[in-house]
Structure 1
């Protein structure tokens, strides 16, 4: 960001005036900020006064559905989890006054660490370190799911009753909104998932998008923070495990537009990840195939929506031309997995 230029959606001067008013003494000098790339939908900025650093999260620019990008929910869940053993950034404050930056936002402490997105990035650690990081990813998920929502003030953070039915219905609607071509097997996959709906275990705080590139790993290979809580709620914890299994078993490809760390040397096999979670959480994971198949369905729908926007010329950046080609394989894998029961 050149001198005097503000990143879109962030006015450091207005932010500093607000912080000086709400947290006197927090900021010691002029603020500068830059957009951190890689966020899915909500915008993330690194902000500094030259001495200390913070992170600002706000909804995307332009019109958004309030429920889809609820800053108060993200701030609430990290505030509730910060005193627990679950690693999250320390929250600073929530601002729901849209006059300050043009949208609600929250501020949290900056956490040093690396989000590993590709097998190539993870391979740089070597097999032993890679194995240790991925096993800690599983242990950290079990720690999240061991938090009693009521004890941390999150008893009303979601509606666990009927969670899976609602999720399946929601993603089915999303599929209808994303259709632009014939996709063999995707309706069949949706129907099979509905026909084999499992009974959920006791509800937990669910992250909703748990994978290696949504955590920060420090130079000692420890997970310092889980990021991107925009999908979090109270629900079936095995949905998080199914998503992690699905991402951990994706084929390699140096230029894959979707996270694919599972091909890195030393990455544990998915069966070991499942067994590790079962051991750490005490949960029955015998129905994990349904959850993994559901994760395949969700990612297929998400990618199909991106493919539709790409064909309409509504995407910015590179890699979108390859997204559509990934969908049939996900559908096929989802069908194979759900039929294993």
Structure 2
């Protein structure tokens, strides 16, 4: 081990009863953290996330609570040696914050590899996820998206490469004021965040670093854009597979789609301005056709 991993191994041994660590491997998992796979002599695999000091501590605690509830097996088998065993986030090297859990087993599929059955399973899992997040985290105490949007400097706005950013910002600010966040959303739903087993059965959803107060429909906007697009149009059959399954467990208010689309766009612009997430490839489609897309989403979820 080099000096960094040796220090990390010492911290892990101090806070967690993982067993004898025999190997570290750096992996890419999410955008907000440096990640390592940790292998023990007992043939168990753990995933270590190191978050920078600037990452909000309350967001980390919230994320740990959500992940613990979503996949209890990932954390419950890791007995804590510290007295503060109600948390899964501890101090890491160089003032970072460290979260540890069993390495989730599975792989991800490309969007075009999803069958209608797979999309239905995705809809069911999302409905379950949104209900669980609300049960565990309750109603958001604060929705800071509007304030974050206002805080984007003119210099940062140049990252968007938009011809008329002030007009768009004014439209989004009015929409955000009228549609406060009612609950929570994953915030970064993409194919790599949905793990499946060898039989294409969905195992779990990962990468909750952008878990945020939101309208849960924002996650369904992500699903529509990542899994259900055919060029610049929404594939109705694929969208129905997701939304009908979702609605079997959780209702969808059609009147919320327009606000959810605006919130989704505002969140992506803020993330790009502060370099936490790149702009979506279909940004111009979102901006120019968001009302049309919202109408399509209403149709396919009705």
| Structure 2 counterparts to residues 1-341 of structure 1, below 5 A | 4-5=1-2, 11=5, 13-24=6-17, 26-28=18-20, 30-50=21-41, 51-60=43-52, 64-67=53-56, 70-83=59-72, 89-90=74-75, 92=78, 94-98=88-92, 100=93, 102-116=95-109, 121-123=110-112, 125=113, 130-147=115-132, 149=134, 152=136, 154-155=137-138, 158-159=140-141, 163=143, 166-174=144-152, 176=154, 178-180=156-158, 183-197=162-176, 198-199=178-179, 203-250=182-229, 268-303=237-272, 327-334=283-290, 336-337=292-293
SS of 2:158's equivalent in the other structure is: coil
Distance in structure 1 (CA, Å) of the matches to 2:251 and 2:33: 34
Contact conserved, 1:192 with 1:338, CA < 8 A, in 2?
no
Aligned length: 283
Unaligned segments of structure 1, at least 5 residues: 254-261, 310-319
Structure 1 residue 250: Cα displacement: 4.9
Q: CA offsets per residue over residues 116-167 of structure 1, 9 Å max, x none?
A: 3xxxx444x4xxx5322222222111001222745x4x347x316xx3xx32
Contact conserved, 2:63 with 2:208, CA < 8 A, in 1?
yes
Q: Judging changes above 3 Å, is the alpha-carbon distance between structure 1 residues 103 and 304 closer, same or farther for their aligned structure 2 residues?
A: closer
Distance in structure 2 (CA, Å) of the matches to 1:273 and 1:47: 35
SS of 2:152's equivalent in the other structure is: helix
Contact conserved, 1:71 with 1:105, CA < 8 A, in 2?
no
SS of 1:283's equivalent in the other structure is: coil
Contact conserved, 1:43 with 1:57, CA < 8 A, in 2?
yes
Distance in structure 2 (CA, Å) of the matches to 1:189 and 1:225: 36
Q: CA offsets per residue over residues 21-42 of structure 1, 9 Å max, x none?
A: 4444x313x4321221252121
Structure 1 residue 108: Cα displacement: 0.4
Q: Judging changes above 3 Å, is the alpha-carbon distance between structure 1 residues 90 and 285 closer, same or farther for their aligned structure 2 residues?
A: farther
Q: Judging changes above 3 Å, is the alpha-carbon distance between structure 1 residues 276 and 200 closer, same or farther for their aligned structure 2 residues?
A: farther
Structure 1 residue 106: Cα displacement: 1.1
Q: Judging changes above 3 Å, is the alpha-carbon distance between structure 1 residues 172 and 110 closer, same or farther for their aligned structure 2 residues?
A: same
Distance in structure 2 (CA, Å) of the matches to 1:339 and 1:281: 20
Contact conserved, 2:258 with 2:291, CA < 8 A, in 1?
no
Length-normalised TM-score, structure 2: 0.74
Q: Which has the higher strand share?
A: 2
CA RMSD of aligned residues (A): 3.8
Unaligned segments of structure 2, at least 5 residues: 81-87
Equivalent residue number for residue 315 of structure 1? none
Contact conserved, 1:206 with 1:235, CA < 8 A, in 2?
yes
